[in-house]
Structure 1
């Protein structure tokens, strides 16, 4: 093998480079490229150009000189590779004398120049610090796109359902036990219920006097008005009559309810009880003492007024609407209790004597008021006891 042909320097012939990498002295190809043609073919592969026959190209002779080498000869390694030139190095086997290199003298440090140009006699103001920037409003925290955490709500709804069931069961038990008075009818009962015997008729016979009743008094219950009271037994047995009422009064309409319940006594004809409805109108007639509703007190003057049931008329038919407490003030009213008053020596609408008139406001809405008439004014004490004993 020719020693001149190599890619890497021979060992111990050159000083190693600082990078420690091999020194590549050439990258020329050592074989000709077979894809390069040395001559132009006489017949091209494509068709005629403008239907003209191709004329062979005659190349002029070239002299074989150094400037024009013979290109037909295949190149050799001598044409591409040149031997690396080895630099001569001094002999390093013996001790060497090191000559110190003179160092340049240090240059003087230039004075420090101020950052800002200052004119004599003029003070320099410090730059104002800018306030940190804050957004006008807090930006919402954006959640990850397509990510929704519904695990918490799914875990909570069974707990809410259980709590709701417990609350409903507790409310049902409280209502069924009777701790809360309500009109709701339960489909079944958890606790035993007291069954009350239904009334047999509107008129109930007086019950005999008991230890809780005053001596000489009896109790009477008016089922039609859903109340009871005590009365002196010497007044005789009570008797009930009704005054017809109308939800539509006039024309061909007939009575469809009870407007007032009247209680008279068999022995004492001077005393009469009247319980008035607030839902129906009386028949067309002259006004009577029980044709009024509850008694109220004026907010401005503190006097007593009587209420009246108003009605609206359409095509000759009267229909009850609402109660208005605007009849008064009563000049002869005297307060007996928070719910009752008395009017002494009153008169009827026609001017005839009526007697003493006692009015008691009831708690019910259908039957809101009870009145007692004493035509002789001789039964005041017994009537006051009667009013105190009324229960609904």
Structure 2
């Protein structure tokens, strides 16, 4: 096992007591040592220690959990994680899996690029690391879908290597506790937060510390209405002392979100099966199956006529479906043709498939497909 990184220097710890460029003016800030001591004391009593990925800890198990937990709540992740680990207990099993099966098990978790990157990384680990999860921060960070914070968390929790982390929960804890103003996504602010994270990370009990700071952000120092009265940083936190909990972290500058409209072509056979199309491997819903989508209504209708061999189709508009992406909002207008004939629709089996919700195939479905198929069933279509 490689040597752990050197602990934070005394100079760095002392720096935390000063007032840096983006800190609240005149605010007394805690030292890294006091921060870590208070956090570990809290973790010993209140920390989460019985989550599935905290049992039989290996780099692989921690890696899967860290990816699933990105932008996803623990309660949501647990059943997905347990099913995933039962089917893919190690990296070789995952690397050998068909893409569709992995995406099928991921259906409902969202942010599907995570699943695609898991597959790419697993295959890289088998091809370039002999099936053993790499043990250096640089090698882990070089894997698809793994950034600096995730790499640090994996090695800290599974190998007790000393690496700071800075995910969304940790950013919120540090900006409040140390009174750091400015949007954390800005380069200068993020650089300063990494410095603070490094200074706070202890040389001992680094696995517990890493879990503790994530737990604190997830359960106590939450986004709205933080539980300051029971927080171990109650006496140390700049935001709590100055009543700044509601304004830290500084929100991202607002930009007007663009809105887009598209049309979903739903061909439904007499037996209830619907025709799905596999999305291209990159881009929105990459590699997932969903209803064919078009920018114009006429294009959707023309496509349905061509693939059923019929003209003047009786199409029905279903209620509009709304979905928000990171950078825009989409309104999807579903167009339904019931009792459609197969005709040429299934000629390209790699691109199209008939999906029967009563006997579902093990494929990855985009969220609109999941919701629209459920809606058809509820309406008795």
TM-score above 0.5: no
Query: By percentage of residues, which structure has more strand?
Result: 1
Instruction: Pick the structure with greater CA Rg.
Output: 1
**TM-score category of the 2 structures, normalised to the smaller one:** under 0.3
Higher relative contact order (CA 8 A, sep 6+): 2
Bigger share in helix? 2
TM-score, length basis structure 1: 0.21
TM-score, normalised with respect to structure 2 = 0.21
